[in-house]
Amino acid sequence: MIDFSISPELEDIRRRITALMDEYVYQNEDKVIEHEGLPVDLERELQQKVKDARLWAPNLPKQWGGMGIGYVGQALVNEIIGRSVIAPRVFGSAAPDAGNAELLIIAANEAQQERYLRPLAAGDVRSCFAMTEPEVSGSDPTGLRTTAVRKGSEWVINGHKWFISGAIGSAFAIVMAVTDASAEPRKRASMIIVPAETAGFEIIRAVGVMGSGGVGGHCEIRFENCRVPAENLLGKVGEGFKLAQARLGPGRIQHCMRWLGAAERSFEMMCRYALERESFGEPLANKQTVQNWIADSAAEINAARMMTLHAAWKLDRGEDARIEISLIKFYGARVLHDVIDRAIQVHGALGYSKDTPLEMFYRDARAARIYDGPDEVHRMVVAQRILEQFRNEAKLD
């Protein structure tokens, strides 16, 4: 039998997170500085309240100071945290730090974990993940050009990256670089940890973007004869793509979990406004078109939630969830966009103004169809995998 109930422990966690959101998060949203986030002191104060309530880092295991609630647990709490653009950092579960911490848990050795993971998991430092390059397709990173050449006891890195989220102010970057150009495509690259103070690591600029930008910008970076000790290699030589998959799979689903929160909050705003705003002698809620938007949005959010929970459940069971993650990545991004779009339409000029969170949600939602793999690539992955199953079936006949 399928059980949709939520355990009493998770219900209690959800209730306590909701209380913190109500008491401290929503009321501080207007303190956000576009492209910078909350003022540092205020963010630290709010993070401390979350830590005191033992609600820090839902994505991390308890041994690293997190909540240890698995992927289904994360889905259920990230849905609440995703209701506000400032909450993921307040609760210690924001990209890219969350994904980097998970990667360091999987791939870092003890010394690397002490030096990089411990302060990251505690929220004492920030980090970035440097894979995408302006000159080649980010959708097909086997074409990456940044190189890391082993010289004696060092790696010497040269290359050009962009859209590296959070780079300004990061303590270190996890860099994807080609270490063996002659290897097969998915074994050419490795991951290397580069402390931000290393000579030859240069942040050129924060790229101007449509969305709210987030803390530390989406940056263009150059590596010029950037030398780091050989022991900064993460995992083994040639494991870059394997580790990227391990990092990006759960990372994508965490985005989807947060999108549900933004979609749900926009939906609630749409319903409340439709009931209170009158036009042509009756509330907007009486118009069939608005009712259709409400019904469609409810159906789509519910479908996206079920799909997200299903992918999370498979990950918790240690099963391959590649298809489920790709499904929810492109479907969830579309639902997020469409629900916010309808909510803005119902609000009229107010929806277009900065007096509600809807316009920022809308600008941020556009990026969801591109980062961590564009819609088209995830559709391709899903279709190829499904067709492969049918091909194999045909061979058996």
Ligand X SMILES: Cc1cc2nc3c(=O)[nH]c(=O)nc-3n(C[C@H](O)[C@H](O)[C@H](O)COP(=O)(O)OP(=O)(O)OC[C@H]3O[C@@H](n4cnc5c(N)ncnc54)[C@H](O)[C@@H]3O)c2cc1C
> Which stretches of the chain bind ligand X, using CB under 6 A?
96, 129-132, 137-139, 163-165, 218, 367, 370-374, 376-377, 380
Nearer to ligand X, 89 or 314 (CB): 89
**Burial, 237: exposed, middle or buried (Cβ in 10 Å; 0-12, 13-18, 19+)?**
middle
Contacts of 55 (CB under 8 A, 6+ apart): 13, 16, 17, 20, 67, 91
In the complex, which residue's CB is closest to ligand X? 138
Least distance in angstroms from the C-beta of 223 to ligand X: 13
In angstroms, the first-to-last Cα distance of the chain is 33
Least distance in angstroms from the C-beta of 196 to ligand X: 15
Nearer to ligand X, 195 or 374 (CB): 374
Tokens coding 52: 């005191």
Least distance in angstroms from the C-beta of 129 to ligand X: 5
Nearer to ligand X, 163 or 331 (CB): 163
Nearer to ligand X, 133 or 264 (CB): 133
Least distance in angstroms from the C-beta of 176 to ligand X: 7
In this structure, the dihedral spanned by the alpha carbons of residues 363, 368, 373 and 375, taken in order and rounded to 10 degrees, is -100
Nearer to ligand X, 89 or 218 (CB): 218
Least distance in angstroms from the C-beta of 260 to ligand X: 19
Least distance in angstroms from the C-beta of 363 to ligand X: 10
Least distance in angstroms from the C-beta of 385 to ligand X: 14
Nearer to ligand X, 161 or 227 (CB): 161
**Tokens 């995703």 belong to residue:** 82
Nearer to ligand X, 212 or 297 (CB): 212
CA distance 75 to 307: 11
Least distance in angstroms from the C-beta of 132 to ligand X: 3
Nearer to ligand X, 285 or 367 (CB): 367
